[in-house]
Amino acid sequence: MKKIGTLAVIGAVMAFGLAQTRASTIEQQLKIELKGVTQSGSKAQSVKVSNKDILKVLTVIEEKDLTKGKLMLITDTASTNENPTTVVVRVKGQDDTDVSEYFDSSETSSDSVSDANNKKDYSTRSYKFTGLEDDLVADLDVAGYTTEKTKTLKKSNVQEDATETQSTVSGEGQLNGNIGILQGKVSVSSSKLIP
């Protein structure tokens, strides 16, 4: 009888541990670093697009100051949704602003290459940002070579895997009302586990 009681306690502890694992959140930073050219009259003008530019557009769309914020991916590991990740702007001292509707990312290659020893996958991935402001960065559509590395995060007896990406991309966008040809990097990094 004592063994059954001990097994019940161990089972309850394990169930509690699993419940903790399922209820965790993974936070990651999204970073956009693009440069290229845009048409300016009869000349090609150099341009850069970064998180700062995206935050300016989102400030206009959301009608609140997000310019000092960070673009973050928040993944609810307990979610049963097809896509449990949301894109938010995090400004210190404010509630997160969900801006997922303006972003899209997908794997564009039908196959990928895996390196199980190093927990890495290689593929092509596309990234889209759709803002609606003509006089600012409005639309970006870039894609390219992507390295995805799986990291195991541990905190307070909770363990989750997080995928960090580094993409070398090229594509186009509407920049300040003009077409732009762009290249650069899009990355998801600085994974943090919140049990």
Burial of 62 (0-12, 13-18, 19+ CB in 10 A): middle
Instruction: Give residue 28's pLDDT.
Output: 98
Instruction: Give residue 111's pLDDT.
Output: 85
The domain in which residue 171 lies consists of 24-194
Distance (Å, whole) CA 111 – CA 108 = 9
Instruction: Give residue 116's pLDDT.
Output: 82
- Collapse the DSSP code of 26 into the 3-class scheme (helix H, G, I; strand E, B; otherwise coil) and give the result: strand
In the block, tokens 């003009």 appear at 178
- Collapse the DSSP code of 25 into the 3-class scheme (helix H, G, I; strand E, B; otherwise coil) and give the result: strand
The answer to whether residue 14 sits within a structural domain is no
CA 182 from centroid of its chain's CA atoms: 20
* CB of 56 closer than 8 Å to CB of 50: no
The answer to whether residue 120 sits within a structural domain is yes
Domains held by the chain: number: 1
The answer to whether residue 36 sits within a structural domain is yes
The answer to whether residue 68 sits within a structural domain is yes
Give the contacts of 37 (CB within 8 A, at least 6 positions apart): 44, 45, 46, 47, 180, 181
Instruction: Name the H helices within 23-120.
Output: 51-62
Q: Which two tokens stand for residue 111?
A: 């196959």
Instruction: Give residue 17's pLDDT.
Output: 42
The answer to whether residue 5 sits within a structural domain is no
Cα-Cα end-to-end distance for the chain: 35
The answer to whether residue 10 sits within a structural domain is no
Q: Which of 58, 72, 71, 68 shows the shortest CA–CA distance to 28?
A: 72
* CB of 72 closer than 8 Å to CB of 30: yes
The answer to whether residue 4 sits within a structural domain is no
The answer to whether residue 119 sits within a structural domain is yes
In order along its 195 residues, the chain shows pLDDT tens digits of: 444 443 333 343 334 344 334 469 999 999 999 999 998 889 999 999 999 999 999 998 999 999 999 999 999 988 888 888 999 999 999 999 999 999 999 999 888 899 988 789 999 999 999 986 556 667 899 999 999 999 999 998 999 999 999 999 999 998 877 889 999 999 999 999 998
